[in-house]
Amino acid sequence: MRASAAIYGCLGPRLGAEEIAFFRDVRPWGFILFARNIEGPDQVRGLISALRESVGREDAPVLIDQEGGRVQRFGPPHWRKYPAARILARLPGGLAVWREAVRLGARLMADDLHALGVNVDCAPVLDVPQPGAHDIIGDRAYGETPEEVAVLGRAAAEGLLAGGVLPVIKHIPGHGRAASDSHLDLPVVEASLEALRQTDFPAFQALSDMPLAMTAHVLYRALDRRRPATTSRRVIRDVLRGELGFAGLIMSDDLSMKALDGDMARRARQSLAAGCDVVLHCNGDMTEMKAVAAGARSLSGRAALRAEAALARLPRRPEPLDRREAEARFDALLSGATP
């Protein structure tokens, strides 16, 4: 039986009987974890094992949002606290130091994740913040120019891949102009196509070789006057696939965010019809997940090929890492020590 074109969360640190039965029945492509699912390393490993057992696939993707700063699901006391992207991009020494710090931080995060069985990180953020935008992106961004964001975003992606974790570039084609938080409302961007091409698109275009991307729940008037990127065939086909040249797997941002309208089944159908390969639902609410499942189809055709190609990017073994040496170097970079 094929996997369904969906990724789901779960309610707590252990699976309930209803969740196991649901996942066994609908066979999602993957899962995503949040702070509510995390108690400690052994518990997380057990939960991940149970999730993969429920769908009968040892390689089922398990995702996390582990960016550092305010978006970090694994943290003290069991895991290191990592700084926000903006902090790394303001260290003394300029771009070469920033790039080393970003890559090394991502490599350390990948080491944490790989040890638990998490194989996909929803990072790096490639959004370029603009004056007057909502601070939902803010210090999650690697810089204020598309050139900086592209260089440092690639450094983060390389660090994750070296550690055996797939990166997800987000929020394509750009959330940096949004004047509202898409968790709570639908942001509408009035910028011209030329402005988007100059500032918002370049970092995504530069990293179009990455295996996975997450859409922005943002309506861009210059691209589609009616639908946000996630549910716009015009944006996904003409911009993401066409102009930006992204050939990897495209997943929606969380369907339960208030930027989207309609019930969960409709949101899933519209996102997949627009060209998303898989849809993401995060909150673990069983009623909502059943509705998403009703609107999701099986993962087949080009979407299935893109999913296979993404997983094929995982290295058979992570790049060797001396954890103690890497942490010492990372701490030296954070302290502003001379390279």
Which residues have a catalytic role annotated? 183, 253
The two structure tokens encoding residue 138: 């803010």
Token pair belonging to 17: 């009987």
Distance (Å, whole) CA 35 – CA 74? 7
Q: How far apart are CA 116 and CA 113, in angstroms?
A: 5
Could you give the count of Cα atoms lying within 13 Å of 300 in the half-sphere of its Cβ? 5
Run of H or E residues at 53 = helix 41-55
Nearest residue to 108 via CA among 83, 141, 143: 83
Distant-in-sequence, close-in-space partners of 289: CB < 8 Å, separation ≥ 6: 8, 22, 264, 281
Strand ranges inside the chain, DSSP E: 4-8, 28-32, 62-64, 66-68, 71-72, 120-121, 166-172, 188-189, 212-215, 219-220, 249-254, 278-281
Phi, psi of 280 (to 5 degrees): -115, 130
Name every residue whose Cβ is closer than 8 Å to that of residue 337 and which is 6 or more positions away in sequence.
none
Residue pair 6/36 in contact (Cβ under 8 Å)? The answer is no
